Structure 1
Amino acid sequence: MTDWTAGYVADIGYTYGYYTELNPLRIKLAFLNQALAFPEVGNACELGFGQGLSANLHAAASVTQWSGTDFNPAQAGFAQELAAVSGSEARLYDQAFAEFAHRPDLPDFDYIGLHGIWSWISDENRTVIVDFIRRKLKVGGVLYISYNTQPGWAAMVPMRDLLTEHSDVMGAPGQGIVPRINAALAFAEKLLATNPSYAKANPQVASRVKKITEQNRNYVAHEYFNRDWMPMSFTKMAQWLAPAKLQWACSANYLEAIDTLHLTTEQQALLTSIPDPMFRQTVRDFCVNQQFRKDYWVKGARQLSPLEQAEALRSQRFILIQPRAEVSLKVAGNLGQATLQEAIYGRILDQFADHQPRSLAQLEQALQVSFAQIQQAVVVLSGTGALAAVQSDAHIATTKRATERLNALLMHKARSSSELVYLASPVTGGGIAVPRFHQLFLLARAQNHQQPAEWAQFVYKLLTTQGQRLVKEGKALDTAQEQLAELTAQANRFAQKQLPILKALHIA
């Protein structure tokens, strides 16, 4: 029998995650912060889209034409269902990379994204992908790629190999991937309990194995139990991408741009003394013990003049997507937790408190703060997830109908599932986290239930029909009175805090 999986886990589906780094709109701030020219993305491609939630949210919420593939037909089928309902015309296939890469009907792309793919495929597939990027990414186009990185994974590599070997050797034929995972993890814990010298030399491994045992098995299967699994140094990644004429541009993780969060003064001085930017990144990974990189690469980096950079930055618009009172002025970095200056960050957040889009130029006019401080604050607040970039009013108007159709389907699915916890916003051009009960409150509103108490009744009926009960503080609520009281309280909080934001994002 032909094995179409190429060693990749296929007997359990991937999680229904959304990855905001794949949103092309995010490129602008990252590039402008480094004074780099960015492309306007008309055509985009996601390779290995999993369940296709990111691809569909981005296709519905933007004017970008999306293409992509995932070899798993069940996942591709779900992605195609979402695309058909939204009417985004996203072209999503179930082809292997080699087959998809040679489709004659694909356009050239301004943007290609791979999230969580590169480290889990064979060298043969990596070669196919690099050749595809070489041929299909336009000059000036951007590649987003994330991957497991050395040195952060160095100590865990032998343990991962042990887990997969136990699954292969000790697992019973036909047992299924989840029982094999559980057995492998139980064996690893038994081994570590004997206090082997490997654990003494690598004390962090025990805690990482414990963390894996607590994680979703769909995620664990795809993260650790594929045949191919290769953490890669930044230097090795650069060598792989060289034939596609790609240059590293910057991290897609905005907070990585703030050195003071991650590097000591001595480390910053050491990195500054290194003239080669690529070797500098390799050394930086040692300084922070980097485990996972999210990077933008560009085919032909072009530097902007200070005037061009400033003008482009001032035109960028953002919106606050968290309740103002709940935005923390604490931010975590490699060096621990840092406190943001209330005098700057608090005042900027106050400007966004009405959840309306504002440009950096508007902030500069309203505040007696230097533009450099505004720029850094917006980068940090975007990195923490408090702010999101806003697309043009014309694009918001164009995409609103598609997002409404997609969101209606996702909210319908939320009646019986808690896995799909994102909805599409035409304002941000991508996905916004909206947990199950909040989606159900929105669904109740869409069905003309006006008050929070009515939303609570609507959700309660759905739960009781399916034999489901609420859990509060780890305890199941038994009586109808308890459940309705909790649902009503949640609905009231939703009406006060989240609903105004979702209205501003054109989701509600």
Structure 2
Amino acid sequence: MARIDGYVADIEYIHHFCRELGPSALNLVLTMQGIEPIPLNQGFSCCDLGCGQGLSTNIFASCHPEGQFHGIDFNRAHILGARELSSQAGLANATFWEASFDDLGRLPLPEFDFITLHGVYSWVNADNRKHIVDFIRCKLKVGGVVYVSYNCLPGWSSVAPIRQLLISCADMESGLLEEQINVSIKFVERLKSMNLSYFSNNPSAGNFFDELSKRSKNYLAHEYFNENWVPFYHADVVKNFAAVNLTFAGSASFVDNLDFLRFSLEEQHLLNSTEDPVLKETVKDFAVNQQFRRDVFTKGRKRLVNVAHQELVSRYRFALVVPREKDTITLNFSRNEAHYDPALYKAVLNALDEQHLSLDDMLLKPEIASFGPEYVHQSLMVLLSASYILPAVDPSPEVIVSTRQFNYAMLERTALNMEPQYLASPVVQTGIKLDWVQRLLLLCELTDSGDPLSFVSSMMREHNYALIKDGAALQSWDENLEELGRQIRSFHVCQLPLLKRLGVV
């Protein structure tokens, strides 16, 4: 197993997109938390430390040609791939650097409005965490924003021993990392089958391992087989970043900021009576047994006064980002399954299915206003948390051209990558997820490639690809053709009109 500073280096990470890293997403967190957002129309700069394959950086660069984006990763294959996509998409505002964290001080970089670290902080050693903090001290502008994700406690307390078993077994084996992972998985499976006391007394560990063992080797290698792997309490991270004048602003996982969705009334009362903000976040983590945090910090950013905050929130426009198919919604959150007033949500979703609207716009519609501003606002927060809607803008011609070029570059790669991928939306300024068949259908539509059934089915035959229905791969070719026909009809009725409204095509 090849490692650099303890980090896996001989197998590439998955092509991962993280919506929370986007400037618009981070500004939404600031706004909803009562903090002044960073103006994006005046030019800004972003740096993603540990950018991996650079997919997030490239998507956001295409959505924001007015910004400058830098991605840094030590893995040469990652950086070469990111540069290739950037060049193919014609992104002049995306720059990728092959560098380790101890090289950061030697790179000719500007100061940044946004610095992001996703899947980094828990997976590097103490020296590299110090390099990261020093970089933030030197390169984050006053008023800047930092996003950092990390494994956290107490959620990992009961299952962290699984990871220790895996890596201990792998380190005893020679050969390729993929082989070491296979041996480790089989070893833990054997222990689990023997019903050892750890598993019998800790059912969550067995469930966790069952889910873990289904993941790809690329994912497992980078998540669990690094030499360094440290879960933190939120208080530890706050203390480390306080040393460089950063203040916790909120969670980039939007639902984590909405106590009314996550906690019982008794728990909300306890949280409201907890004055210390760090202790309050810690209590939240204990309440839901949190395993992973996405924290947002700011450096001296001003808070909004109440009137300005309310006005800014009420003017945010939103777009529906899922096909409009159901009149009622059932949403699952950590502490409860919430059923909401069908009439309110039907009215809100119907309105958003027609056009992008703000809270103020919705309150001008009698069928929505009758529910009252508080409940309409709450419905928007719920829909945001469930990723039914996202903030929307009217994109400039420059942004439309930039995202179209990126999307064509991604679609040209469709035949080579059958995993779900993302295309850029200039309207919601982020990536929209499409599976392989959906991308093929879009490619067929844009290139006038004839009958979509013939086009996609020929690609399926070429790649020996079977469609999934009810959680299982279809076995016969006739079954696949029947399901493909259904998916084609659904795509043209539901997905394609949505992609057009979002400016993806």
TM-score under structure 2 length normalisation: 0.93
2:21 match: 22
- CA pair 371-34 structure 1, distance change in 2 beyond 3 A: farther
| Cα separation, 2, equivalents of 1:91 and 1:462 | 34
C-alpha root-mean-square deviation of aligned residues, in Å?
1.9
Aligned pair partner of 2:113 in 110, 113, 118: 110
| Cα separation, 1, equivalents of 2:7 and 2:148 | 19
Whether the aligned pair in 2 keeps the contact of 1:144 and 1:295 (CA below 8 Å) is yes
Aligned pair partner of 1:388 in 369, 387, 390: 390
SS in 1 for 2:58: helix
- CA pair 475-185 structure 1, distance change in 2 beyond 3 A: closer
| Unpaired segments ≥5 residues, structure 1 | none
Aligned pair partner of 2:502 in 495, 501, 505: 505
2:287 match: 287
SS in 2 for 1:459: helix
SS in 2 for 1:82: helix
Measured against aligned partners, the alpha-carbon deviations of 1:391-427 in whole angstroms (never above 9, x if no partner) come to 3433xx2211121122112112112321251111111
1:33 match: 32
1:224 match: 224
The offset of 1:200, in angstroms, is 4.1
338-347 or 114-123: which moved more? 338-347
Measured against aligned partners, the alpha-carbon deviations of 1:185-214 in whole angstroms (never above 9, x if no partner) come to 221222233333333443311111111111
SS in 1 for 2:37: coil
- CA pair 156-436 structure 1, distance change in 2 beyond 3 A: same
Measured against aligned partners, the alpha-carbon deviations of 1:117-171 in whole angstroms (never above 9, x if no partner) come to 11111111111111111111111111111111000001122221121111102x1
| Cα separation, 1, equivalents of 2:187 and 2:373 | 56
Q: For residues 284-433 of structure 1, what are the structure 2 equivalents within 5 Å? A: 284-326=284-326, 329-354=329-354, 356-366=355-365, 367-368=368-369, 369-394=371-396, 397-433=397-433
Whether the aligned pair in 2 keeps the contact of 1:25 and 1:391 (CA below 8 Å) is no
1:67 match: 70
- CA pair 466-191 structure 1, distance change in 2 beyond 3 A: closer
Measured against aligned partners, the alpha-carbon deviations of 1:455-496 in whole angstroms (never above 9, x if no partner) come to 1211222333445455555354544x6554443332111000
- CA pair 469-310 structure 1, distance change in 2 beyond 3 A: closer
Q: For residues 172-191 of structure 1, what are the structure 2 equivalents within 5 Å? A: 173=174, 175-191=175-191
Amino acid at match of 2:415: R
Matched, 1:143 2:169: no
The offset of 1:52, in angstroms, is 1.1
Q: How many residue pairs align between the two structures?
A: 495
TM-score under structure 1 length normalisation: 0.93
SS in 1 for 2:119: coil
| Cα separation, 2, equivalents of 1:224 and 1:159 | 10
| Cα separation, 1, equivalents of 2:74 and 2:267 | 43
Measured against aligned partners, the alpha-carbon deviations of 1:353-402 in whole angstroms (never above 9, x if no partner) come to 12x322222112223143333332222211111101113433xx221112
Amino acid at match of 1:378: L
Q: For residues 195-206 of structure 1, what are the structure 2 equivalents within 5 Å? A: 195-206=195-206
2:89 match: 86
Whether the aligned pair in 2 keeps the contact of 1:249 and 1:301 (CA below 8 Å) is no
Aligned pair partner of 1:50 in 48, 52, 56: 52
Whether the aligned pair in 1 keeps the contact of 2:54 and 2:79 (CA below 8 Å) is yes
411-420 or 286-295: which moved more? 411-420
SS in 2 for 1:155: coil
Amino acid at match of 2:241: L
| Unpaired segments ≥5 residues, structure 2 | none
SS in 2 for 1:415: helix
Aligned pair partner of 1:462 in 432, 436, 459: 459
The offset of 1:27, in angstroms, is 2.3
283-292 or 360-369: which moved more? 360-369
Measured against aligned partners, the alpha-carbon deviations of 1:54-78 in whole angstroms (never above 9, x if no partner) come to 1111111123210011111111111
Amino acid at match of 1:155: S
SS in 2 for 1:352: helix
The offset of 1:324, in angstroms, is 1.7
- CA pair 327-127 structure 1, distance change in 2 beyond 3 A: farther
Whether the aligned pair in 1 keeps the contact of 2:466 and 2:473 (CA below 8 Å) is no
Matched, 1:154 2:157: yes
SS in 2 for 1:365: coil
Aligned pair partner of 1:122 in 120, 125, 128: 125
| Cα separation, 2, equivalents of 1:36 and 1:167 | 46
301-310 or 321-330: which moved more? 321-330
| Cα separation, 2, equivalents of 1:107 and 1:37 | 23
- CA pair 166-444 structure 1, distance change in 2 beyond 3 A: same
Whether the aligned pair in 2 keeps the contact of 1:410 and 1:420 (CA below 8 Å) is no
Amino acid at match of 2:484: L
Whether the aligned pair in 1 keeps the contact of 2:122 and 2:231 (CA below 8 Å) is yes
1:448 match: 448
The offset of 1:328, in angstroms, is 5.6
